[in-house]
Chains A and B, each alone.
Chain A
Amino acid sequence: DAKTTQPPSMDCAEGRAANLPCNHSTISGNEYVYWYRQIHSQGPQYIIHGLKNNETNEMASLIITEDRKSSTLILPHATLRDTAVYYCIVRANTGANSKLTFGKGITLSVRP
């Protein structure tokens, strides 16, 4: 699976949009971009995933660049409960046993 690069941390004000960047310049054509987050003392939680089109669900939006070498996770109205470590992962969906490889993630701190 391709490697991802994320800044170690960022913060944003409550109520504002949080834009979390991720670089995955070696992504291959069959690899999806996944985002998970981990709130303190809990297991990671799935947020969203995409291949090449932008995606949106009730939690977030995922914007993938046209060349697919980078993506941005957008939390449109961040709340204090969104403070967590966010992991960007690329994974091929081919093969029943393909696995997620987590990096160090980005720590998002939402301030009041």
Chain B
Amino acid sequence: DVKVTQSSRYLVKRTGEKVFLECVQDMDHENMFWYRQDPGLGLRLIYFSYDVKMKEKGDIPEGYSVSREKKERFSLILESASTNQTSMYLCASRMGGPMSNEQFFGPGTRLTVL
């Protein structure tokens, strides 16, 4: 079974802190994604990566950066956390190629910024 794991289920940080959210997948998938989910807004794509060291902005990249140094790991970085970044963060991965269909999601990290 494909497994997407996220480093923490719950995280509490203070305003201004640098925050790292880690995601690891074990199926050699080329594509990886970071979303945030907020009540009433659904899932919104922050960044995605379709290969090592490659990244593309999603719909709401402001305030975030990402790192993909190894194929299996995709990190989301909040350089200086703010209270409006309190949210559920979901990582996902998908096989590369035009016929790849299923996107696999991790369990999510609920981040609270105080």
Contacts and interface: CB of A to CB of B under 8 A. Distances in A.
Interface residues of A, number: 24
Interface stretch (A14-22, A44-52, A71-79): A44-52
Contact of B48 (A41, A45, A99): A99
Interface residues of B, number: 31
A44 B106 CA distance: 8
What DSSP secondary structure best describes chain B's contact surface?
Answer: loop
A96 B43 CA distance: 21
A87 to B, nearest CB: 8
B108 A97 contact: no
A43 B90 contact: yes
Nearest to B108: A43
B31 A97 contact: yes
B25 to A, nearest CB: 12
B22 interface: no
